[in-house]
A = this chain, B = another copy of it.
Amino acid sequence: MTEQRGLTLAVSTVIFALRPHPDTGRLTLWLPLVRRIREPFRGRWALPGGPLDPADDLATSARRTLERTTGLAPHYLEQLYAFGAVDRSGAVTDEGRVVSVVYWAIIRPDEAERSVVGENVEWQVADEVGAWGGAAPLAFDHDTVLRYALARLRAKIGYSPIALAFLTEEFTLAALREVHEAVTQRTLDPANFRRQVLAAKTVAPTGRRLAGTAHRPPALYRRAVEIPSSDPARVTVTEPTHPADTDPPKGLS
């Protein structure tokens, strides 16, 4: 193998949590950013992360970053993408070029409350950050990274029960719907949402109800499925093994 001097492998993490928007009060996506204290991009906001310790797995490194910046362990952690353009918006430094493997994570708001906001760490509204949000661009290519992470989250919540990762053990269907609405930025019909969630069987009623609500008390639910891991080592491979000519036609597209 060649000497790869001038190449550093870093791991960054996009950490999502839902909190009320400071102006509107509506639930929105937040994430912690770190102010850079060194060149390049000194003074600019960046995704938390750092160089990969050769003794750590990639996911372990992401978890460490999460612990370091928020004091928390994620309820969902997934690899987003490996960014490796030669010049990632000035990422070629004295130490050379940087390839970043980016993870994204979901943490629960009740835990985010308790989170320790370290020095140079600040939680900000995801859609108001960087050049896309009308603010100063993030360091490196982190504008692109964040945009991609948001797109992935917003797409994935539509076909995967990851919304549950934003919620505590017991929750109402209204709370689950509010997570979907906050993430997708669309209002949903409560009745239809209920019907679809119950049909998907991803939640089960606990039998208990939430009291003191100034209206009819809603039933409480809990997760009925594990939040799926996207770790390739755990991917279940459905194998129809051999193509049988007798197989009934199925769907497409």
Interface residues of A (CB under 8 A from B): 1-2, 4-10, 26, 51-58, 79, 81-86, 95-97, 99, 101, 132, 144-145, 147-148, 150-152, 154-156, 158-161, 180-181, 184-189, 192-193, 196-197, 200, 202, 232-233, 235, 237, 240-253
B232 pairs with A145, CB closer than 8 A: yes
B82 x A243 contact (CB < 8 A)? no
Q: How far is the CB of A134 from chain B (nearest CB, A)?
A: 11
Contacts of A81 in B (CB 8 A): 79, 232
Q: Are A253 and B84 in contact (CB under 8 A)?
A: no
The minimal Cβ–Cβ distance linking A119 to chain B, given in whole angstroms, is: 19
> Contact at A97–B248, with CB atoms within 8 Å?
no
User: A53, A82, A95, A159 — which one has the most chain B CB atoms within 10 A of its CB?
Assistant: A82
- The answer to whether B7 touches A187 (Cβ under 8 A) is no
Cβ A202 vs Cβ B253 within 8 A: yes
Cβ-defined contact, B192 with A247, below 8 A = no
Contact B4 A240 (CB under 8 A): no
The answer to whether B148 and A232 have CB atoms under 8 Å apart is: yes
Is the beta-carbon distance between B193 and A252 smaller than 8 angstroms?
yes
Report chain B residues within 8 Å CB of A151: 235, 237, 244, 246
Given contacts A192-B252, A196-B252, A252-B196, contact A54 B152 (CB under 8 A): no
Residue among A144, A159, A247 with max Cβ neighbours from chain B (10 Å): A247
Which residues of chain B are near A53, meaning CB under 8 Å? Answer: 2
A86's nearest neighbour on chain B, judged by CB, is: B57
Q: How far is the CB of A116 from chain B (nearest CB, A)?
A: 24
Chain B residue contacts of A4, Cβ below 8 A? 8-9, 51-52, 54
CB–CB A253/B97 < 8 A = no
Which chain B residues lie closer than 8 Å to A150 at the CB level? 237
Q: Please name all residues of chain B whose beta carbon is closer than 8 Å to the beta carbon of A240 when the two chains form the complex.
A: 185-186
CB distance from A167 to the nearest CB of B (A): 14
Q: How far is the CA of A54 from the CA of B95 in the complex (A)?
A: 12
In the bound assembly, the distance between CA atoms of A55 and B97 in angstroms comes to 9
- Given A9-B9, A253-B161 in contact, is the A245-B1 Cβ separation under 8 Å? no
Write out the residue numbers on chain B whose beta carbons fall within 8 Å of the beta carbon of A185: 240-243
Contacts of A251 in B (CB 8 A): 158-159, 188, 192
Contact of A253 among B1, B10, B196 (CB under 8 A): B196
Q: Is the CB of B159 within 8 A of A249?
A: yes
